[in-house]
A and B are shown apart, each in its own frame.
Chain A
Amino acid sequence: MPDIINALFVFMLACFLGFEVIRRVSPLLHTPLMSLTNALDAISVVGAILLVGEGKSTFTTVLGTLGIIAATSNIVGGFIITDRMLKMFKSSRPAGPSAGK
């Protein structure tokens, strides 16, 4: 029982924290934000790893391995594309466009 209550407290606090942090994200970056949270959400790979690692049956190993593949592809793909997008966001240089007409 204390585990459940602890888990609910953690969930509640993380939701409030999430709201406060995400509210501050610039609308400019909403697309990379979504691909980043996608990569972070693939933390479910942890559950799949434990499932496969415990090797209880062929059934759990097959499902868990498929889960690891899906989640890992989100981790790898999500971080790569987020970084690619963020690299493109450049500010106009203080020098500005050349004075030549």
Chain B
Amino acid sequence: MMMAHGIDLLIEFFYLAASALFILSLKWMSSPKSARHGVWAGEIGMALAIVGTLLYRGPGGAVLHYRWIFIGLVLGSIVGVPLGRVAMTAVPQRTALSHAFGAFCVTLVGIAHYYSEVPDLPRFTMAVLSAEVILGSLTFTGSLMAAGKLQEILPQRPITYRGANVVNLGILGVAVAFAIYLITNPGHTAFFPFIVALPLAFGVLMIIPIGGADMPTVISLLNSYAGLSAAAMGFVLNSKLLIIAGALDGSSGFILSVIMSKAMNRSFTNVLFGAFGQVQASAAGAAEQRTVRSATPEEAAGILSAANKVVIVPGYGMAVAQAQHKVRELFDSLSRRGVDVKFGIHPVAGRMPGHMNVLLAEADIPYDRLLDLDEINADFPQTDVALIIGANDVTNPAARDDKASPIYGMPILDVDKARTVMVIKRGMSPGFAGIDNPLYYLDRTLMLFGDAKAFVGDIVRELSGSHH
């Protein structure tokens, strides 16, 4: 008896230490200088949590059945290593996939818990168990759908149909109704499959109308749901460690989704039940015949090498064209000539929060050159050249000036205040929202038509060719 107590206490101390390490882990992410310590703290915390759990003794001091635990741990590690080694360009879909895996685990444990305890489930346990299973299921299919869209297995275009929101919310509402019934009557096992199946369907339907440009918000939201479902599991098992880790993850995802929605001047509900699909139709006809000025790589190289200050604005187009390494060459070439080159990064540039920063860091661009929207905007009036590579709506001055614009109010990078604006773009097609960009028709704007990687490469070649 004393033995069992000693081990229980030891396990609790392991969990206490793990919780502290998880908090430190996130705290150290505040700066790139300490961030790697954060990973180590997280790893040690996780190891303590797992070892502590393996020490667990059941009633009568019975040790756990280790065989399948170890098989699971080994197989999971075998699957995990390649998922940790994917290319940086695949990080958004990898992240979505891992949200799905996390939710998968939570859901399965919830289902197993229900069937092994039923009907002996107190109301509070059944309530949090329902929350665990509902959140887990919808996060599982929602994240798989998001991963599929990001990997382009599924169409990236938003698919909308009339009444979609009513149908979706109806499905979720019915699931919640079943859950509420089960809280008072947990023994009605016939109802339980519905609180798994309906949220699974809801997860699919929730992501169908989401377009690629909304992905940063949606991934963050799914991150939050995954965390909350783990916290719900913590309530079911009465584990403070799970509650803490789940709450940290849940609040992290929540904060990121708030930042992303603000950066698009949209509410959560607007992203999830969004009306952007309709915008496309109304704005498409508005484009009139206006003239644009275009330039060759040679001319662009001439202007860039004569500049003192250049701000490069990357967007998803840079990621698609895999142009980041050529952009680094341009950065090096201009820096060698004494040009001050910075990067202006919009929070929603790319497909997930911080996407551009990771790609540019991978291309060896120092992080102190990567500036956030708020940090860079004051610089544009003193900037000689703003070079936009594969970004569109986040530079659209209509969001600032045109009250009739569907994206009015969205914070943008004020590239139009730079002396010269250069835009690398494949053609004149509009951005994700189907909105025309008046930036392209300004006198100070030069359009550089072509593939981002090839065009930047041509500019770099011109710059090195004119070496003196």
Question: Given A18-B252, A44-B230, are A74 and B101 also a contact pair (CB < 8 Å)?
Answer: yes
Contacts of A33 in B (CB 8 A): 26, 29, 252, 256, 353-354
* Contact between chains at A47 and B239 (CB < 8 Å): yes
* Contact between chains at A91 and B242 (CB < 8 Å): no
Contacts of B22 in A (CB 8 A): 40, 43
Question: Given A46-B49, A78-B98, are A17 and B108 also a contact pair (CB < 8 Å)?
Answer: no
Give a binary string over A41-72; 1 marks a CB under 8 Å from any B CB, 0 the rest: 11111111111111111011101111111111
User: Quick one: which of A3, A19, A69 contacts B75, CB cutoff 8 A?
Assistant: A69
Closest to A78 in B: B98
Contacts of A71 in B (CB 8 A): 76, 101-102, 105
* Contact between chains at B358 and A31 (CB < 8 Å): yes
B77 within 8 A of A: yes
Give a binary string over B77-96; 1 marks a CB under 8 Å from any A CB, 0 the rest: 10111111110100100110
* Contact between chains at B29 and A29 (CB < 8 Å): yes
B454 within 8 A of A: no
Contacts of A43 in B (CB 8 A): 18, 22, 46, 49, 230, 241-242, 245-246
Which of B51-59, B197-205, B268-276, B381-389 interfaces with chain A? Answer: B51-59
Q: Tell me, in angstroms, the Cα distance from A98 to B195 when the chains sit together.
A: 63
User: Quick one: which of B27, B32, B219, B227 contacts A21, CB cutoff 8 A?
Assistant: B27
**What is the distance, in angstroms, from A47's C-beta to the closest C-beta of chain B?**
5
Give a binary string over A19-40; 1 marks a CB under 8 Å from any B CB, 0 the rest: 1011111111111111111111
Contacts of B81 in A (CB 8 A): 76-77, 80
A interface residues, tally (CB under 8 Å): 83
User: Quick one: which of A28, A31, A54, A84 contacts B32, CB cutoff 8 A?
Assistant: A28
* Contact between chains at B80 and A80 (CB < 8 Å): yes
Which of B285-293, B366-374, B419-427 interfaces with chain A? Answer: B366-374
B176 within 8 A of A: no
User: Quick one: which of B94, B246, B336, B354 contacts A30, CB cutoff 8 A?
Assistant: B354
Q: Tell me, in angstroms, the Cα distance from A38 to B226 when the chains sit together.
A: 8
Q: Tell me, in angstroms, the Cα distance from A28 to B335 when the chains sit together.
A: 22
B233 within 8 A of A: yes
B38 within 8 A of A: yes
For the A-B complex with A7-B243, A72-B75 known, give 20 more contacts whose Cβ atoms are closer than 8 Å. A7-B238, A19-B255, A25-B29, A27-B353, A29-B29, A30-B357, A34-B252, A34-B354, A36-B42, A41-B245, A44-B109, A47-B106, A49-B54, A53-B58, A67-B106, A69-B72, A69-B76, A71-B105, A76-B81, A86-B35
- 5 residue pairs of the A-B complex, CB under 8 angstroms, read A21-B30, A31-B355, A43-B18, A78-B80, A82-B42
Q: Which residues of A contact B (CB under 8 A)?
A: 3-4, 6-7, 10-11, 14-15, 17-19, 21-57, 59-61, 63-92, 97, 101
Which 7 A-B residue pairs are closest in the complex by CB-CB distance? A72-B76, A53-B64, A80-B84, A76-B80, A68-B72, A18-B251, A30-B354
